[in-house]
């Protein structure tokens, strides 16, 4: 469960955030439309919605890989609105959908951790961090995963399975206890068994370290069962926001019907609808 908000400021605040893109035909498309969002410390947020709803755009604005056209972004009361992604990395970490985007395939597990640690310091020093130090830090976060990866530090990352790489990516993203972890469909490219394992690993890491997490997902069953808060987006806006007791008893059919009433749209993504029978206990 999220940490108490009585004595803590929100870990993340979006205040009127808007992002527009220009198409090849010079048409202006609003991908994110004056979004307001406040997330309390330690909250696990699932974000759902049809393709093009603005989910990944919102995560990109938080990460700094895109800058907002309007609005402000605060991370633990720090205004990061105009801050580039490399300056946010100590506060905001991100795990992307494709395992190849989260690790350098030609480097070993140890070398990938060395890069991640350098990034958390906000600089890439010419002098390498001690190998023993890197191994100790890596082993500390890998051992609880129960996958034996702490004994394979010299393994080239490209030889690992997608599930193993994504589990390592989540572990690396947790280094330095970031304020916010962004999970951008991070299990979508995995087979069902690997996806379930990585979801389990992710929740264990996030809960143990009490990291505020925003997870874009098409797995409605997982979103309903494990999230503290569930957001549904449509046309660049948050159209549904459930948390706490509001999530109890919800089904995918409930969400679909409410979504249609509020937005006039439909959730046609087969991956979303495939979990229709799932209910939050």
Q: Is the predicted pLDDT of residue 124 greater than 80, yes or no?
A: no
- How confident is the model over 70-112, as pLDDT tens digits? 999 999 999 999 999 989 998 999 999 998 899 999 999 999 9
Q: Is the predicted pLDDT of residue 24 greater than 90, yes or no?
A: no
Q: Count the domains in the chain.
A: 1
Q: Is the predicted pLDDT of residue 271 greater than 80, yes or no?
A: no
Does 190 fall in a domain?
yes
Does 218 fall in a domain?
yes
Q: Is the predicted pLDDT of residue 272 greater than 50, yes or no?
A: no
Q: Is the pTM of this model over 0.95?
A: no
Q: Give residue 6's pLDDT.
A: 52
Name the residue range of residue 237's domain.
12-273
- How confident is the model over 210-242, as pLDDT tens digits? 999 999 998 887 888 889 999 999 999 999 999
Assign residue 45 the CATH number of its domain: 3.40.50.300
Does 281 fall in a domain?
no
3-state secondary structure the chain: CCCCCCCCCCCEEEEEEEEEEECCCCCEEEEEEEEEEEECCCCEEEEEECCCCCHHHHHHHHHCCCCCCEEEEEECCEECCCCCHHHHCCCEEEECCCHHHCCCCCCEHHHHHHHHHHHHCCCCCCCCCCHHHHHHHHHHHHHHHCCCHHHCCCCEHHHCCHHHHHHHHHHHHCCCCCCEEEEECCCCCCCHHHHHHHHHHHHHHHHHHCCEEEEECCCHHHHHHHCCEEEEEECCEEEEEEEHHHHCCCEHHHHHHHHHHHHCCCCCCHHHHCCCCCECC
């Amino acid at each position: 469960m999220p940490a108490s908000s009585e004595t803590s400021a929100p870990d993340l605040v979006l205040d009127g955030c808007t992002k527009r893109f220009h198409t090849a035909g010079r048409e202006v498309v609003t991908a994110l439309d004056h979004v307001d969002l406040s997330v309390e410390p330690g909250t696990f947020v699932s974000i759902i919605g049809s393709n093009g709803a603005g989910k990944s755009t919102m995560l990109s604005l938080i990460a700094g890989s895109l800058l907002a056209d309007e609005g402000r972004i605060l991370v633990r009361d720090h205004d990061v609105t105009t801050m580039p992604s490399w300056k946010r990395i100590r506060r905001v970490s991100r795990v992307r959908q494709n395992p190849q985007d989260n690790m350098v395939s030609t480097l070993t597990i140890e070398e990938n951790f060395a890069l991640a640690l350098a990034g958390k310091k906000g600089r890439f020093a010419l002098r390498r961090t001690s190998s023993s130090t890197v191994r100790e830090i890596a082993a500390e976060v890998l051992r609880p995963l129960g996958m034996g990866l702490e004994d394979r530090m010299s393994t080239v990352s490209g030889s690992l399975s997608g599930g193993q790489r994504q589990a390592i990516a989540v572990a690396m993203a947790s280094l330095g206890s970031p304020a916010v972890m962004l999970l951008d469909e991070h299990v979508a490219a995995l087979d069902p068994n690997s996806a379930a394992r990585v979801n389990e690993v992710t929740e264990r890491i996030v809960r143990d370290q009490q990291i505020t997490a925003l997870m874009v997902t098409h797995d409605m069953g997982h979103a309903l069962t494990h999230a503290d808060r569930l957001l549904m987006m449509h046309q660049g806006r948050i159209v549904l926001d459930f948390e706490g007791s509001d999530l109890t008893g919800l089904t995918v059919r409930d969400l679909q019907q409410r979504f249609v009433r509020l937005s006039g749209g439909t959730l046609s993504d087969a991956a979303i609808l495939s979990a229709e029978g799932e209910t939050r206990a």
